[in-house]
Amino acid sequence: MAYFVGITGASGVRLGVRLVETLIPIADVHLCITRSAYQVAMSEGVELSFSEGVFLWPEEALDAPVSSGSFRLKGCAIVPCSMGTMGRMASGVSSNLVERAADVALKERWPLILVPRETPLNAIHLKNMLSLCQAGAVILPPVLTYYHSPKMIEEMENFILGKILDHLGVEHALFRRWKGGD
């Protein structure tokens, strides 16, 4: 069982890193970090080093196994997903491995979770998101939640990570689920 994670050049690289760290104990992770993601990570003070269980691919590696639907994946997540990446994916452009892996996920009908990090959104962003949603992607912006009374940023991140894992079909205990009235 394997998952693909793409980390692109939008703020919130830490969410992508935490997702990879969460998936490593349960599955192989094929990872692509774009050049702009490395720049964002540096500016946000996020370390991009991973242990065993991660297959790290350069963004130019369009011959990587995840570029083909014959290589079976359980799902694909782009966290964070820059608006440039989203626009190219919405147009069917695969200029790098992240975009190609997303394209493969769509054509194979595997879960594709996109975590856009932009605010406010303009009409082009929204059209691209609608296009991708209609093609089968889940658009999962990292929206702040309050009903679970978070005290630290990690608790808010855990909620978003938990929602990503839910859509990938991965069991977790990262947040307390809503039970109504309690």
Is 15 domain-assigned? yes
Is 179 domain-assigned? no
User: Which CATH number does the domain housing residue 100 bear?
Assistant: 3.40.50.1950
- Tens-digit pLDDT profile for residues 157-168: 999 999 999 999
Q: How many domains does the chain have?
A: 1
Is 176 domain-assigned? no
Is 180 domain-assigned? no
- Tens-digit pLDDT profile for residues 84-142: 999 999 999 999 999 999 999 999 999 999 999 999 999 999 999 999 999 999 999 99
- Tens-digit pLDDT profile for residues 15-60: 999 999 999 999 999 999 999 999 999 999 999 998 788 999 999 9
Is 99 domain-assigned? yes
Is 36 domain-assigned? yes
Burial of 178 (0-12, 13-18, 19+ CB in 10 A): exposed
Host domain of residue 139: 2-168
